[in-house]
Chains A and B, each alone.
Chain A
Amino acid sequence: MALETSVIQEKLTATFGESVFNFTQEKSIFSLEVASDKITAVLLFLKNDETLRFNFLTDLCGIHYPDNDDNHQFTVVYHLHNWIDNVRLKIKTYLPGSNPEIKTVSNIFLCANWMERETFDFYGINFVGHPQLKRILNMDEMISFPMRKEFPMEDGGRTDKDDRFFGRTIDNC
């Protein structure tokens, strides 16, 4: 008996009401938005409920939207997968730009541990309650968060690259 997306939507709105919204079917994945303070409750519900049974956290990542308003600057995206009925789900939560914070889900899904550290390393999102929130891929001494849009990709300290050959001038660089 396949798990219909309408069933997921009904169960979630019945339990969480206003905190879950914006349900869309994007290409082949059903996605929704969740208010950032309810995320642990929603994921626990999705994992433990007998019809929903989303037992696998496929992915956790962050995105930076500098053009959005202050309350929607960062987003954390969770991809869940129900192996029994073979249904995927995507959850997005938006976080404010000034102090992005969200509760950790590493006690629900153990694999979220390093994925949250990676998101912290790249975006500076603070995961409250994480057992070891420190940088994982970059050097520990780094102070800025490299995946934010304002951070440049290239190494600023290079002396052997001549900007003239790349068409870069003071005005456009």
Chain B
Amino acid sequence: MIESKTKMVDAPEGVVGEGFFATKLNDVVGLARANSLWPLPFATSCCGIEFMATMASHYDLARFGSERVSFSPRQADMLMVMGTISKKMAPILRQVYEQMAEPRWVIAVGACASSGGIFDTYSVLQGIDKVIPVDVYVPGCPPRPEQIVDGVMKLQELVRTESVRRRSSPEYQELLASYNIK
């Protein structure tokens, strides 16, 4: 094998033989999903500019599998909410989330998306987890691109170890029901 500088993802545990590799379905599916997360950048304010810096060549989120940024919710895996969500915007965020197909994950980037940030006012939604379930919160105002990449890596960890049966399990259905999402 030629020495390559690219770091490849480790294969999951399994039995290797002549022309076959036996492992658990969960691991393979998790591996595939984790390394090809297509983001939907829901960029509303300043954190959106830091996302642009993350997608640009210096920090390059594409090397984590997020090469194709999708603006259509039907074709995206993870929803990255970056910036302040006001109460006027909340129904739209909800609609975008509902259009995404399972499995879907949500990253709340920045203080405003996590908890309302410095804007404790009548018009700002104090955290997007009031309207949609969130998987990873990235604090910062705005977070450095390294922090956003760290958030994506934590999400990759979650995705890699998630069970294939999770989306039909009763706990997940209960979680969605608590947000009134059908």
User: Do A's and B's CB atoms come within 8 Å in the complex?
Assistant: yes
Within 8 Å CB of A160, what residues of B?
Answer: 126
Segment at the interface with B among A8-16, A48-56, A149-157: A149-157
A110 CB within 8 Å of chain B: no
User: A160 to B125, alpha carbons, bound, how many Å?
Assistant: 13
Q: B-facing mask of A131-173, CB < 8 A → 1, else 0?
A: 0000001110000001000011111101010000000000000
Q: Which residue of A lies closest to B120 (CB)?
A: A154
B58 CB within 8 Å of chain A: no
Q: A-facing mask of B116-131, CB < 8 A → 1, else 0?
A: 0000111110100000
Chain A contacts with B in 100-155, Cβ cutoff 8 A: 137-139, 146, 151-155
Within 8 Å CB of B122, what residues of A?
Answer: 146, 151-156
Q: B-facing mask of A89-100, CB < 8 A → 1, else 0?
A: 000000000000
Interface size range on B against A: under 10
User: A95 to B77, alpha carbons, bound, how many Å?
Assistant: 54
User: A39 to B127, alpha carbons, bound, how many Å?
Assistant: 44
The reply to whether A154 and B87 form a contact with Cβ atoms under 8 Å apart is no
B88 CB within 8 Å of chain A: yes
Q: How many A-B residue pairs have CB under 8 A?
A: 24
User: A71 to B121, alpha carbons, bound, how many Å?
Assistant: 30
The reply to whether B123 and A154 form a contact with Cβ atoms under 8 Å apart is no
Q: A-facing mask of B57-74, CB < 8 A → 1, else 0?
A: 000000000000000000
With A155-B126, A158-B126 known as contacts, the answer to whether A138 contacts B88 (CB < 8 A) is: yes
Q: Which residue of B lies closest to A158 (CB)?
A: B126
Within 8 Å CB of B87, what residues of A?
Answer: 139
Q: Which residue of A lies closest to B127 (CB)?
A: A160
Q: Which residue of A lies closest to B87 (CB)?
A: A139
User: A137 to B89, alpha carbons, bound, how many Å?
Assistant: 12
Q: A-facing mask of B149-173, CB < 8 A → 1, else 0?
A: 0000000000000000000000000
The reply to whether B121 and A155 form a contact with Cβ atoms under 8 Å apart is yes
Chain B contacts with A in 119-150, Cβ cutoff 8 A: 120-124, 126
Minimum CB–CB distance from A147 to chain B (whole Å) comes to 11
Q: Which residue of A lies closest to B88 (CB)?
A: A139
Minimum CB–CB distance from B114 to chain A (whole Å) comes to 13
Minimum CB–CB distance from A168 to chain B (whole Å) comes to 13
Minimum CB–CB distance from A24 to chain B (whole Å) comes to 34
User: A158 to B122, alpha carbons, bound, how many Å?
Assistant: 10
User: A152 to B123, alpha carbons, bound, how many Å?
Assistant: 11
The reply to whether B121 and A138 form a contact with Cβ atoms under 8 Å apart is no
Chain B interface (Cβ < 8 Å from any Cβ of A): 87-88, 120-124, 126
Nearest 3 pairs of A and B residues by beta carbon = A139-B88, A155-B122, A154-B120
| Cross-chain pairs A/B with CB under 8 angstroms, 24 sampled | A137-B123, A138-B88, A138-B123, A139-B87, A139-B88, A139-B123, A146-B122, A146-B123, A151-B122, A152-B122, A153-B120, A153-B121, A153-B122, A154-B120, A154-B121, A154-B122, A155-B120, A155-B121, A155-B122, A155-B124, A155-B126, A156-B122, A158-B126, A160-B126
